[in-house]
Structure 1
Amino acid sequence: MAKITTSKLLKMKQNGEKISTITAYDASFAKLFDQAGIHAILIGDSLGMVLQGQDDTLPVSIDDMAYHTRCVKAGVENTLIISDMSFMTYATKEQTYENAAKLMQAGASIVKMEGGSWLVDTIKGLVERGIPVCGHLGLTPQSVNVFGGFKVQGREQSQADAMVEEAKALEAAGIQLLVLECIPEGLGKAISEAVSIPTIGIGAGRETDGQILVMHDALGISCSYMPKFSRNFLKDTGDIKKAIELYIEEVSNGNFPGEDHIFS
């Protein structure tokens, strides 16, 4: 497989090819996923929950993120590496530039930030300084206390309309990818059609340009619960690499997510 870039992912969207993404946090799993042909790996601040055993992602530091980014980078040859900007590490522009640089220097290809139009100026500044950005709308876990829990977002028409406009604003600011989390399938479709950049869904329905899962969910080893939008691919294969290959295949042919994995 040739090296994956944001330009390659954009071409996949334009050609109607589905993008497969998964989280990883160390070199061994990253190498396995890379060899299986995954298009992108996210070093998610989800590590706070699945690795550290926290209740949410808020305790994760930028140093945690940089450490795990370095680990993943050591195992990857071709896969695009996305790294999360953790909670309150992009509250000001200056802080954002410094922390984003840490992740890029650790091996990230692109940094991911949660939030809407309030990030526009910050995103423009990052792009001007040579740092690509992936946006994240819908259920943004760093805002869990504002939302009052992990809840589906955008069910009200006014919320849905606002999210479409925020997606457009983020694209205009310069983001090259957009993660959509826990939103109704119709809204996932509307946003994917409203922007020209690739959208990557997690609980966002079947009409996004790609899918992402937390590796612990995809392999059925999450210690808390299995989210509605996930599927245990290891159960179907009994082999980790084959499980990821099956995940990629099922995303590519439109079999995942299925009817049981979507929100309406």
Structure 2
Amino acid sequence: MEKNHVFHQIPDYLDGNLNKSAVAEFEKHLEQCADCQKELEEMKTFFNVFEEEVPTPSDRLKAKFESTLEQQKLNQGKVVQLESKPSSNWTGNILKIAASIALLVAAFQMGSLFQQRKVNEDIAQLQDETNQMKQTTMLSLMENQSASKRIQGVNYIEEFEQPDEAIIQALANRLLYDENDNVRMTAFEALVNFTSSEIVKTTFIEALEQEQNPSIQVAIIQALVQIQEKKAAEPMKKLLEKEDTQPFIKDQIKAVLPSLT
């Protein structure tokens, strides 16, 4: 049966956060449960995707540039030919040598500049492709039928320094429409780090109007008060008027409502 599975412990098991007795209990259950074994293997696969490092450029590029530089030196050597002339023309020869050295230095600097630019472009493209892969995996996980996988997907927000609107909206949908309390709370905890977004502010207000879990209600109220979102005053007043609103929720609203009006 679903309730006998240990899906919810898999992330902590993989992260090494379980104590010895919990690990022994978990592994004992794993030996007898094919569903949990399958779930564990799938999560390991997803973890491995995000542990891959962005490869750094090899020494091949450097070797190719040095080869080009050597050829450039040979070409410059062919251009500058010092002929045996009277000693009175030594100044002209020195100027030729100086000009050749200047050309060589300029060629080296330009080659370095173009090579570095190419390397930077390659790295940027690789990082972009990696982020696209992470985003696709994250969005896919958040639509999974398993609540533990949806939580795992929400937690992948940590992989993005600046998540785009698609990710923020996907998290908002988890907070507003997910049937699992733990998923909604995890989505709220992820979104609270991006309260400067208008999508997040609007989502918090909408969630406050429909959320039934008291713990999530309190968390949303505190977040809206912290950012001084004036539009939250009306839904808070409605909660005060509802008979099924928990007394401690009403007390919380009464304490903070003056700061929003």
Query: Under a length normalisation based on structure 2, what TM-score does the superposition of the two structures give?
Result: 0.26
Question: Which protein has the larger Cα radius of gyration, Structure 1 or Structure 2?
Answer: 2
| Structure ranking higher on relative contact order (CA contacts 8 Å, 6+ apart) | 1
Structure holding more helix per residue: 2
Query: Under a length normalisation based on structure 1, what TM-score does the superposition of the two structures give?
Result: 0.26
Structure holding more strand per residue: 1
